Structure 1
Amino acid sequence: METKIYKDKQEVAKAFAEYFANLVKGKDSFHVALSGGSTPKTVFNVLAKEYGDQIDWSKIQFYWGDERCVPPTDDESNFKMTFEHLFSKIEVPKENIHRILGESEPKREAMRYANLLEINLDRVADIPQFDLVILGMGDDGHTASIFPHEIELWNANDHCVVATHPISGQKRVSINGKVINTAKEVVFLVTGPGKAEKVGEILNKEEGHEKYPASLVNPKSGKLYWFLDEAAAQNLN
C-alpha cells in the first residue's frame, strides 16, 4: 500500500490524472471502474483538459463501482456527472461506456451488471478482474456503496449487490468487496477535512477500524494507492 499526500483537491486530481495516463499508455484494452463524488469530478475535469488528446480513449472500457438508483438525467447520477465532466469533452466510443442502469429495478440490474462484468472481463477464481478500480470514501467509512450497517454485503456471493443508504433509504447498485480486491490496481481518491477522522482510523489501524468497509480494501495484487490531500491526511501518524 502506498499513501500519496498533496496540498489540495486540485493537486490530487493532477497527480491521479498523470498516474492514470501512464497506466493506460500502450495498453490494447483497459477496463476501469469509476467512482462518483466531488474528487472524481475534479479528476475528470483535469483528465479532459490536460489529457483529452493524449490518451487513446478507444482502448478504455468504462464501468462504475456503484450507482444510485436514479435515471441517468438525475443530478445524483454518477453517470451524469461523468458524462458532463469527462465523456462530453473527449472522443470515446459510445460502446465503451457500460453504465449501471439506475432507472431499472435494482435487483434485476445488479444481476444484469454482474453478468456483464463476467462476460467482458477476465476472471480470477471466477471473479471479474478490473485493471483499475477507483474508489472514494464517505465520512462514515463507506466505499463504493457498501455501508457500515450492511458490511456483510462486502463478501456477498453476487458480484453486484443492492445496497441501501442508511439515512435516505435510497437504493444503490454496487460491486462487492471480492471484485474490488481482485482488481489489478485500486486507488482511493479522498479529500477534505470531513474525511480526516476515518482516514486516520483506517490507515493508522486504530482499534475497531475493521467496521468500516473502506478498511477491507486490500487487493490481492498488493497495488493499493491512497491519493489524499493534506486536509484528509491530517490525522495520520
Structure 2
Amino acid sequence: METNVYKDKNKVAQEFSKFFSDLVQGKEIFHVALSGGSTPKVVFDVLASSFKDRIDWSKIHFYWGDERCVPPADDQSNYKMTVEHLFSKIEVPKGNIHRILGEAEPPREAFRYANLLEINLDRVDGTPQFDLIILGMGDDGHTASIFPHEIGLWNATEHCVVATHPESGQKRITITGQVINIAKEVAFLVTGDSKAEKVREVIQKEGNYDRYPASLVSPTSGNLRWFLDQAAAKGISLDRS
C-alpha cells in the first residue's frame, strides 16, 4: 500500500491526474472504473483542463464502480457529473463510455452491467479485471456503494449487485469486492477532515475498521494507492510523501 498526502483537494487532483496520465501512457487500451463524489469532480476538472491534449482519450474505456438508480439527467447521477466535468471537455469516442443505466430496473441492470464487464474486460479466474479502479470513501467507511449495513455484499458471487443507501433507501448498482480486488491498480481519492477518523482506522487497522467496507480493499496485485489531503490524513502516523 502506498499513501500519498498532499496539501489540499486541488493538489490531490493534480497529482492523481499525473499518476493517471503516466499509467495510461503506452497502453493500447485502458479500462478504468470511475467514482462519483466531490474529489473526483475536481480530478475531472484537472484532467479536462491540464491533460486534455496530453492523453490519448481514444484508448480509454470508461466505466463506473457504482451508480445511483436515477436517470442520466438527474443531478445525483455519477454519469451526469462526469459528462459535465470531463466528457463534455475532451474528445472521447461515445463507444468508449459504458454507463450504468440508472434508470433501468435495478436487478436487471446489475446483471446486464456484470455481463458487459465480462465481455469487455480480460478475466482472471473468471473475474473481469480493470486496469484501474478509482474509489472514494464515505464518512461511514463505505466504498463504491457497499455500505457497512450491507458489508456482506462485498463477498457476493455476482460481479455487480443492487445496494441500498442506509438512510434514503435509494437503490444503487455497485461492483463487488472480487472485481475491486482483482484490478491491476486501485486508487482511493479521499479528502476532508470528516473522513479523517475512518482513514486512520482503515489504514492503521484500528478501532472498528473491519466493519467498514473500505477496509476490505486489498488488491491481489498489491497496487493500492491512497491519495489524501492533509485534512483527511491528519490522524495517520505513516510517512507523508
Fold equivalence (TM over 0.5)? yes
CA shift for structure 1 position 207: 3.3
Instruction: Give 1:168-207 correspondences, 5 Å limit.
Output: 168-207=168-207
CA deviations over 1:31-54 (Å, ceiling 9, x no partner): 000000000000000000000011
Once superposed, what is the RMSD of the aligned Cα atoms? 0.4
Instruction: Give 1:82-161 correspondences, 5 Å limit.
Output: 82-161=82-161
Q: Kindly provide the amino acid, as one letter, of the partner of residue 146 in structure 2.
A: I
Give the Cα separation in 2 of the matches to 1:55 and 1:179. Answer: 26
CA deviations over 1:134-164 (Å, ceiling 9, x no partner): 0000000000000000000001011001000
Gaps of 5+ in 2: none
Give the Cα separation in 1 of the matches to 2:234 and 2:55. Answer: 34
Q: Kindly provide the amino acid, as one letter, of the partner of residue 21 in structure 1.
A: S
CA deviations over 1:33-77 (Å, ceiling 9, x no partner): 000000000000000000001100000000000000000000000
Q: Which 4+ stretches in 1 moved above 3 angstroms? A: none
CA shift for structure 1 position 197: 0.6
Aligned residues: 237
What is the TM-score normalised by the length of structure 2? 0.98
Instruction: Give 1:29-40 correspondences, 5 Å limit.
Output: 29-40=29-40
CA deviations over 1:118-146 (Å, ceiling 9, x no partner): 00000000000000000000000000000
1:67 and 2:67 are equivalent in the alignment: yes
SS of corresponding position for 1:225: strand
Give the Cα separation in 2 of the matches to 1:205 and 1:143. Answer: 16
Give the Cα separation in 2 of the matches to 1:187 and 1:75. Answer: 25
What is the TM-score normalised by the length of structure 1? 0.99
Aligned to 2:18: 18
CA deviations over 1:190-211 (Å, ceiling 9, x no partner): 0001100100111111132111
Q: Identity across aligned pairs (percent)?
A: 73
